[in-house]
Amino acid sequence: MHRGFLFQHLYTVQCLLSAAALSVRSVGVESDEDVEVQFEGRRIYVQVKHRKEPLAWNDIEEAVARFAELRAAHQRGERSGEPAFLIISNAAPNGPLAAKLAVADWPADVHVDWPAADPDARILPAPQGLLRSQLSQTLETILRLMIREIVSRSRTDAIFTPVTSLRPPAFFFRAEDVLVNLGYPGGQELRFKRDRAIYIRLFPTYADQPRVGRVRAIEVASRLKPPQHLFNSPSNQNEWGEVNVQPHGDGITSFTQIFETGELWGASEEPFRDKNTIAAIGVEKGFVAALDNYRLVYEKELKLQPPFTIEFGATGLKDQALLVPSVEFPSIGDHAGAIRRDNISQQYQLNGFDRTEWMTALRDFLIEFYDLAARVLAGPGADAATRRGQPTASPVNSRTASNSAFVLSEYAARFGKTGVIGTMS
């Protein structure tokens, strides 16, 4: 985009942002002038100039003459309100123009403003003296702030109501409830039998959303994935909406439920490898797979509007050891813990669809999750035998690293080892 247009757009946005504070009734663009700002009983015509050299009289002479015609139209009653003309420039006036501005017969309703001009004489926001790259960045920042402000201002009283958990915190159903029937009624009834799982919930923060409904939920369910590293998984209707599952025997290893409201709720027992072990890599792979999938479904399929609330958690953790990558035992890993709490859950707000923001929320949760096992570990001064149970994140073999998104660096660093948290697969 041309530098002059960027500067003009930026100044237009500045006027919009200042409208409430200045009691502006409206801001128009590309009419008689670049920008027109309407006050009660007053209209300011704005010509925006971006120059590499100081502003000269020949840069504005034509615009000043054009304003004389507009002024005459106001005086004849063809236009309402008292007119004024403002020239906005990134560059200060050169010597001849500055002298012209200082003479007594310079029109009182014609003003020139630039970044270093007298702020007391200003009638609209101060222009920015920025390079082209800075103009683009500043315009984007201001527009994002505007959008966020508008969205938050219009959404103060319509909070989304999420589904109530019947077995807090991880399950919306009772232990005996059938999640999916893969045959005729009463046929192959599948239940989630365990009382331990990692889980993830996603729902809009505010209720003013496009309607989802049961039909759309059924259509979208086939594109959902449970919190498990899978290529495909079947979906079917149930009493809550539609569920996508990973069956295992006569039970379910993992699932993602979509409700008629658009809320998503997933859980997986896959990371629990035996009665007393939960695998860190399994936890990370499950959360990352679900998070990427949920984000794309919300953006591309359901077209829901941010902000969103996401909840990560796990239940059935008490007395579980955390299986982590290990330098000493690269083929089988090492154990940290045991964990002394049964549950953990954390909620975060997501303001858009940027993957980095979503992964940052997951990373923050994993730090809290891994801390459950790290609490019982010895410090850096302990001998190797005492420290055998601590997380050891690097080096890891390439197969393990390629499937993991984060891998424990905060805790590896705490004990003097280099971690690879933040590495994306």
- Would 162 be classed as within a structural domain? no
Q: Percent of the chain at pLDDT above 90? A: 48
- Would 423 be classed as within a structural domain? no
Q: What is the pLDDT along the chain (425 residues), one digit of tens a residue?
A: 445 566 787 788 888 877 877 888 888 887 788 899 999 999 999 999 888 899 999 999 999 999 999 999 999 998 888 999 999 998 899 999 999 999 988 999 999 999 888 888 888 888 876 545 555 566 666 667 666 666 555 555 689 999 999 999 999 999 899 888 876 666 678 889 889 999 999 999 998 888 899 999 999 998 999 998 766 778 888 889 999 998 887 789 999 999 999 999 999 999 998 889 999 989 999 999 999 999 999 999 999 999 999 999 999 999 999 988 777 766 677 888 789 999 999 999 999 999 999 999 999 999 999 989 873 333 333 333 333 344 333 323 333 333 334 444 444 444 333 333 333 33
Distance of CA 144 to the CA centre of its chain: 11
Round to whole Å and give the CA distance between 342 and 334.
21
Short-list 168, 381, 135, CA closest to 265 = 168
Same-domain status, 139 and 184: no
Same-domain status, 211 and 110: no
Domain final residue pick, 136, 153, 170 = 153
Round to whole Å and give the CA distance between 1 and 95.
31
Same-domain status, 284 and 323: yes
- Would 172 be classed as within a structural domain? no
pLDDT given for residue 344 in this prediction: 96
Same-domain status, 149 and 191: no
Domain final residue pick, 138, 153, 168 = 153
Round to whole Å and give the CA distance between 185 and 193.
19
Same-domain status, 103 and 197: no
Q: How many domains does the chain have?
A: 2
Same-domain status, 377 and 328: yes
- Would 420 be classed as within a structural domain? no
Please name the residues in contact with 373: beta carbons below 8 A apart, sequence gap of 6 or more: 321, 322, 336, 337, 338, 339, 391
pLDDT given for residue 224 in this prediction: 92
- Would 160 be classed as within a structural domain? no
- Which CATH number goes with the domain that contains 82? 3.40.1350
pLDDT given for residue 261 in this prediction: 94
Q: Domain containing 119: what range?
A: 3-153
Same-domain status, 106 and 214: no
Same-domain status, 294 and 397: yes
Same-domain status, 125 and 33: yes
- Would 40 be classed as within a structural domain? yes
The two tokens of residue 294 are 């949920």
- Would 168 be classed as within a structural domain? no
pLDDT given for residue 420 in this prediction: 31
Same-domain status, 184 and 149: no
The two tokens of residue 303 are 């077209």
Round to whole Å and give the CA distance between 247 and 190.
8
pLDDT given for residue 12 in this prediction: 83
pLDDT given for residue 337 in this prediction: 78
- The pLDDT tens digits for 322-359 are 988 777 766 677 888 789 999 999 999 999 999 999 99
Short-list 401, 421, 202, CA closest to 296 = 202
- Would 368 be classed as within a structural domain? yes
Q: For the whole model, what pTM was predicted? A: 0.57
Domain final residue pick, 100, 135, 153 = 153
The two tokens of residue 71 are 């002024």
Task: List the alpha helices (DSSP H) in 179-247.
Answer: 213-221
Same-domain status, 94 and 219: no
Same-domain status, 341 and 193: yes
DSSP assignment of 237-257 equals EETTEEEEEEEETTEEEEEEE
Per-residue burial over 152-183, b = 16 or more CB atoms within 10 Å of its CB, e = otherwise: eeebeeeebebbeeeeeebbbbeeebebbeee
